[in-house]
Amino acid sequence: MTEANRTSLDLVLKAVAFAAEKHRTQRRKDAEASPYINHPIALASVLCHEGKIDDPVALSAALLHDTIEDTETTADELRLVFGDAITSVVLEMTDDMTLPKAEKKRIQVERAPHLSPCPRQVKLADKICNLRDILYAPPASWPLERKQDYFEWCKAVVDGLRGHNPGLEAVFDAVYEKKSLLV
């Protein structure tokens, strides 16, 4: 293994460990209440295996994408541990958690076309993973209409992200087309 590859791998593993620690007490909303860390790991996997992305900044940002929104992590802490490049990607994707849910969703749709290329791809992987979760491990309390609305909102966000990774876009489209499987 080259030194550059080792450094990249070290960075990604550091991000996994950091995210696992920060999300350690959190669970997903599915019926089994699966560990939250499964979600950021799934994002990194989608980027790597389906999006053919091996950039350690993108993979690390995917692993860390919810730390500021969903944990006590601050931008300063992330910057201190991971530097400006990764922190910038995470911040570009982070919602303002002080806003009502409907406003956050509206802003995501508006901001999507203006995201930088790396955050666009991480956001796209996030939407792919979220739709897969809605299909195969949905939140226990969500009725069909809420699941359908979520699919449509994700499509509106992704429509603004298009143009940077046709492979990931095709994966999203294939998952979106499975919305008829919703129950």
Residues with a catalytic annotation lie at: 69-70
| Distance in angstroms (rounded) separating the CA atoms of residues 46 and 13 | 16
Angle, alpha carbons 157-124-82 (nearest 5°): 120
**Triad 156, 158, 159: Cα angle to 5°:** 65
DSSP type of residue 46: I
Cβ pair 95, 104 in contact under 8 A: yes
Please name every residue paired with 27 in a beta bridge, in sequence order, or none if there are none: 35
